[in-house]
Structure 1
């Protein structure tokens, strides 16, 4: 994992350096480690960032390289860039880790802190990472699929990055189309391309660098800061306070990480396509919130009687983070007592924390929060188990020296027994709480899955009947069907709440059947997701069809009414014109003029007759209902007869 992170940082940091060189008109580097060794390219970079002219020694000896790097380090120190444990020889020798550390400090100063210094000053904050996380969470608050709590795992599925861009620039792409995409790599590629071509952000990361279990934090911070630089930068105090309330990830030493990974439950985030609701622009009001992914955290457990961390007895794994100095130096009673007091103080705090977790809720979303809170608590216990073991080992070693009096030895033994007893009680209680949380959460989630399955079955039958019912045959029937469809849309919107509650499913699987249980859950979620997506797609398509037919039918009906009224009016006008028995020539000329006007009106109205036929064809090609076809054609045949009668009357009257 360390090698993978180094490879990602090398690639992304190289892209960042080259992006700066492009701005300064400098030649790009190929290899971050070797190209910076002589110090000249490092000075080129700092020259562009500081705006100062920095002379370079052009010789090719090691002395020239050291002088150039030393000059670069002095420039960084003058600009208040932190350079802890980084020396010129490290860079000249091509030390990978320290070269990456140097470039990260440069990025942190000029990319992160410089970009954010104004908003940090305005908010009176000094933690740029906290401000950036607050901005991200505030920006993505209205996206139910997104919950950014860090700059690593929260970005793996690609939704957070797209949501961040879409929240500020919804004109750039359709959110639903992103949610529909099947893989995290596709979504990340989409976001990077939008940022590159629409916002001018260099593609510093590749999708495969982020779509991993543990993306590199520094690389993501660097990229998100680039977005922060070009997007609106409002951050509220409330958003900052919300970030401050987020649970902090426990610090785990390297020695403990292996043990944590194997002995304790852990969450493996995988993305399963569950559902797709579509935002309908043609609906009277927005309906379905887009929802496409359920992340299931598979919690691996072994025998319920086994602990995720071993019971601490006299022999415990050595923990270098606590008590190691005492273990390595001469053992003395005062040092032991001091260390014991510290670990007992922590133990008391851990006991209080467990007690404060309260009763398990019967609401699935609340239980999920309780589960993740307890998961962090268990990780904290695992991180501290070495401390307890060291104290027990220290006490045993102290007794073994034979330097204690009988009373002192008895006291130390009693203290060790007390510590071990309290640790054991805490271990058992926390395991019991974990087991109960697993059981309740699985019961509630299975209940939600069953409810969703039942609802899908019922709704599939409902949509099947709606599909089989012909549209029409009258306009009022169609309006009734439109209203019926609106009720279905409202039901889908309500069901969306249940679908959303399945986000971040936590599934407890046994070690012996973990892969089978994982595959079974994925298949179950996929089936449910496909069914939900089919219903949503059908509902959306049906709504569009109904609106199209309703609009065409109403237009045809309006034109029919207007044409019918016009025909009646002209028939009355023809009937009122005298064709015989004129008093004089003027009266005859007046009648002829009226007939001529009517003929002209009739000629103009031919276009309306053609429009009626066109509207009819448009409606029937969409509706495809035999009964409606017969009625509509009967109406038009009647209009055609009335038209012919009117033409004949005019010709007859004119002839007379």
Structure 2
């Protein structure tokens, strides 16, 4: 006997139909996420499992360089090993992935999203379960708003109050809750998502109408809220992602130039690989210097107003710091020039 389920309008569906549509819905959200973090326009979820995205994502998560072999199944297997040496991908059938099985594709991309979190989430919470961290964060930030009751990642977000309250907890001027209360549910959602996109660069992984869809699930909402979290609560993470996007733009231009001179064969390919390797080395040095400079600046003591000798010492330390900035201009310039 076939089981039937009913949506919020009373329409009957079989479980198989619901599952298929839920995975299609999930795939559209995950595809937008993958496009956003690599600054690339991906057309289908299967594009994530091609050499270009796998190479960029592997570099993003591990810092290691992955070169496609030409065999799709071999490339996917290699990337799985590079991304996680445990059993994260042990239950994944690579044949299902290469065949484009939507359930398998979504399952792998969900693991990618969690790897992204472990790589860029704040150090004190990145090893915790993603959904739990996001839920605790949402509850803490919205607890002062009486109209907000967060109990899950689907129905609690449909009226738009939770999303607006979350953003208002960081910037009350950007989100006027008195005005939000007068809006319709879809208007509240549009308002909050517009602010998140415009002010904080959060990609629109969902649309207002998606929040009332019977196919919306926890993973889609958690993925979107994770991007908001990283934009609002983890500034260093945001900077790192933008550097990777810049690297992707450079890599795209390099490959476009390479394709136009394909006749040069192995010599041109070797030259490109050497250029990319040189760039990656230079970028790594610049990122290391940026983190060190930031830490050094944060550790500087407040200016002493009464002790002249301490002021002199602080002046010399500041002068040394400024000199280090000057000395590093060439390295930064080389990265930006490329």
* 36 and 196 in structure 1: CA distance in 2 versus 1, 3 angstrom threshold: closer
Q: In the aligned structure 2, how far is the partner of 1:93 from the partner of 1:214?
A: 24
Aligned residue number for residue 68 of structure 1 = 75
- What TM-score do you get using the length of structure 2 for normalisation? 0.59
Matches within 5 A, 1:455-604: none
Sort the Cα spacing of 1:45 and 1:159 in 2 relative to 1 into closer, same or farther, 3 A: same
The aligned residue for residue 6 of structure 1 is: 23
Distance in 1 (CA, whole Å) between partners of 2:68 and 2:77 is: 11
Residues 69 and 88, structure 1, Cα contact 8 Å, conserved in 2: yes
Partner of 2:123: 118
Q: Retained in 1: the 8 A contact 2:125–2:133?
A: yes
CA contact (8 A) 1:210 1:216 kept: no
Alpha-carbon spacing, 1:168–1:38, altered in 2? closer, same or farther (3 Å): closer
| SS of equivalent residue, structure 1 residue 70 | helix
- Give matches, 1:283-362, under 5 Å: none
| C-alpha deviation, 1:232, in angstroms | 4.1
8 Å Cα contact 1:39/1:72 also seen in 2 = no
Residues 224 and 36 (structure 1), Cα distance of their counterparts in 2 relative to 1, 3 Å cut: closer
Offset, 1:189? 1.2
The 3-state SS of whatever aligns with 1:120 is: coil
* Contact 2:34 2:48 (8 Å CA) reproduced: no
* Separation (CA, whole Å) in 2 of partners of 1:89 and 1:39: 16
Q: Which residue of 2 aligns with 1:42?
A: 54
Q: 1:213 to 1:69 in 2, by over 3 A?
A: closer
CA contact (8 A) 1:39 1:92 kept: no
Verify the 8 A CA contact 1:40 1:68 in the aligned structure 2: no
Q: Following superposition of structure 1 onto structure 2, how do residues 132-143 of structure 1 map, counting pairs within 5 Å?
A: 132-143=134-145
Q: Structure 1: 5+ residue runs without aligned partners?
A: 59-63, 234-656
Q: Return the offset for 1:68.
A: 1.3
Q: 2:133 is matched with which residue?
A: 131
In the other structure, the counterpart of 1:108 is 114
Q: Cα–Cα, structure 1 residues 29 and 127, in superposed 2: closer, same or farther, change >3 Å?
A: closer
**Deviation digits for residues 596-617 of structure 1, max 9, x if unmatched?**
xxxxxxxxxxxxxxxxxxxxxx
- 2:168/2:174 contact within 8 Å kept: yes
- Distance in 2, matches of 1:177 and 1:107, equals 34
1 CA distance for matches of 2:81 and 2:52? Answer: 14
Partner residue in 1 for 2:33: 16
Indicate the SS of the match to 2:55: helix
* Alignment-derived partner of residue 240 in structure 2: none
Q: Would the alpha carbon gap of residues 89 and 213 (structure 1) be closer, same or farther in structure 2, given more than 3 Å must change?
A: closer
Is the 2:55–2:65 Cα contact (8 Å) retained in structure 1?
Answer: no
Given that 1:136 and 1:164 are in contact with CA atoms closer than 8 Å, whether structure 2 keeps it comes out as: yes
Find the partner of 2:43 among 30, 39, 61: 30
Preserved CA contact (<8 Å) 1:156 1:215: no
Structure 2 unaligned regions, length at least 5: 1-17, 235-338
1:57 to 66, 69, 73: 69
- Deviation of the 1:197 alpha carbon: 0.4
d(CA) in 1 for partners of 2:220, 2:90: 20
| Displacement of 1:39 | 4.6
Maintained 8 Å contact 1:156/1:213? no
Q: What is the CA-CA distance between 1:38 and the residue it aligns to?
A: 4.6
Corresponding position of 1:379: none
Larger relative contact order (CA 8 Å, sep ≥ 6): 2
Shift of the 130–77 alpha-carbon distance from structure 1 to 2, 3 Å rule, reads closer
1:98 partnered with 2:99: no
Q: What CA distance in whole angstroms lies between the structure 2 residues aligned with 1:49 and 1:69?
A: 15
Matching residue of 1:404:
none
Superimposed CA distance per residue, residues 55-100 of structure 1 (whole angstroms, 9 cap, x where no aligned partner)? 1124xxxxx122211211211223x571142132121111110111
Provide the C-alpha distance between the structure 2 equivalents of 1:151 and 1:171, rounded to a whole number of angstroms: 26
1:180 is paired with a residue of what secondary structure? coil
- CA gap 1:150/1:114 in 2 versus in 1, 3 angstroms: farther
Is the CA contact (8 Å cut-off) linking 2:114 and 2:130 kept in structure 1?
no
* SS of equivalent residue, structure 1 residue 189: helix
Distance 1:171-1:105 versus aligned 2 partners, 3 A rule: same
How many Å separate the matches in 2 of 1:198 and 1:172? 9
Distance 1:37 1:138, change over 3 A: closer
Q: Secondary structure at the match of 1:42?
A: helix
Larger Rg: 1
- When the two structures are aligned, how many residues end up with a matched partner? 217
Q: 2:89 aligns with which of 76, 83, 87?
A: 83
Change (3 A) 1:38 1:215: closer
Instruction: Give the Cα separation in 1 of the matches to 2:87 and 2:193.
Output: 29
Call closer, same or farther: CA 1:126–1:48 in 2, change over 3 Å. Answer: closer
Q: Deviations over 1:114-159 (max 9, x none)?
A: 34452327xxx83332232121111111111111011121111111
Q: Is the 8 A contact 1:49 1:110 kept in 2?
A: yes
1:158 match: 160
Take 2:53 and 2:145, find their aligned partners in 1: how far apart are those partners? 43
CA contact (8 A) 2:164 2:175 kept: no
Q: CA deviation at 1:40?
A: 4.6
Shift of 1:51: 2.5
**Whole-angstrom distance in 2 between the partners of 1:157 and 1:84:** 39
TM-score, normalised with respect to structure 1? 0.31
Pair 99,153 (structure 1): closer, same or farther in 2 beyond 3 Å: same
